[in-house]
Amino acid sequence: MRITVFGATGNVGSRVVAEALARGHEVTAVVRDPAKPHGLPATAALTVGDAGDPEDVTRISAGQDVVITATRPAPGREHELSVATKGLLAGVAGTGVRLLAVGGAGSLTVPGAGGTTLVETPDFPAEIRSIALACSEQLDLYRAAGEDVDWTYLSPAALLEPGVRTGRFRLGRDELLVDAAGDSAISMEDLAVALLDEVEQPAHRRSRFTAAY
């Protein structure tokens, strides 16, 4: 398949690019600044664009099967996530190109907590509250998108870090997945596996899903 990745130079995006290439897909990596070292594999095509610009999104996604976005604004600029989200949604609307977004875990409900979301819990870390709230707004924008957008939103586990690719994890929908010890985690490599599985075998069209050990 032809897959374009926004946020390709990031922690998650670079692993998505690697997983997609390993599966034999034709990958286009979007960078904002071509002069900045990107460290992407030579087998990925590079193109320049900004997720917040609907014209860039339409131009770059033309002829693609799927657009994946794993963008994250710099700390203090969390409001830019909604600009990027609106640009992506407007840019693919009506084109038939599928849009898959890596978002946040904060909007997942906590098991047994009567509908309370993770970001609403008293122990939620203050330093990631702004990005978590921005990601909740991001999910709201996806859910409000018109019927002409074929979207899927992937919320990671609470702890998402570089690690190893095991290919073994569980999938859920709107509730945080926790293991027997009460932990919620997944490696970025396995999150990329979950995302590429969804690309190849769509099971969560116009909805959110989550992946965790």
Ligand X SMILES: NC(=O)c1ccc[n+]([C@@H]2O[C@H](COP(=O)([O-])OP(=O)(O)OC[C@H]3O[C@@H](n4cnc5c(N)ncnc54)[C@H](OP(=O)(O)O)[C@@H]3O)[C@@H](O)[C@H]2O)c1
Q: Which residues bind ligand X (CB under 6 A)?
A: 6-7, 9-13, 30, 32-33, 50-52, 70-73, 84, 102-105, 131, 135, 156, 158, 160
Least distance in Å: CB of 117 to ligand X? Answer: 12
Query: Minimum distance between the CB of residue 26 and ligand X, rounded to whole angstroms?
Result: 20
Residue closer to ligand X (CB basis): 6 or 151: 6
Identify which of 87, 54, 198, 21 has the alpha carbon closest to the alpha carbon of residue 2.
21
Please report which helix (H) or strand (E) contains residue 72, including its range: none
Q: How far apart are CB 75 and ligand X at their closest, in Å?
A: 9
Residue with Cβ nearer ligand X (24 or 95): 95
What is the H or E stretch that residue 205 is in? none
In the chain, the amino acid numbered 89 is L
CB atoms within 10 A of CB 112: 8
Residues pairing with 161 in the sheet: 187
Smallest distance from ligand X to CB 198, Å: 15
Report the residue number, 24 or 35, with the smaller CB distance to ligand X.
35
From the list 88, 197, 83, 211, the residue with the least C-alpha distance to 151 is 88
| Nearest residue (CB) to ligand X, 13 versus 98 | 13
CB 2 within 8 A of CB 22: no
User: Which three-class secondary structure state does DSSP give residue 190?
Assistant: helix
Query: For ligand X, which is the closer residue by CB, 24 or 75?
Result: 75
**Least distance from C-beta 23 to ligand X, angstroms?**
20
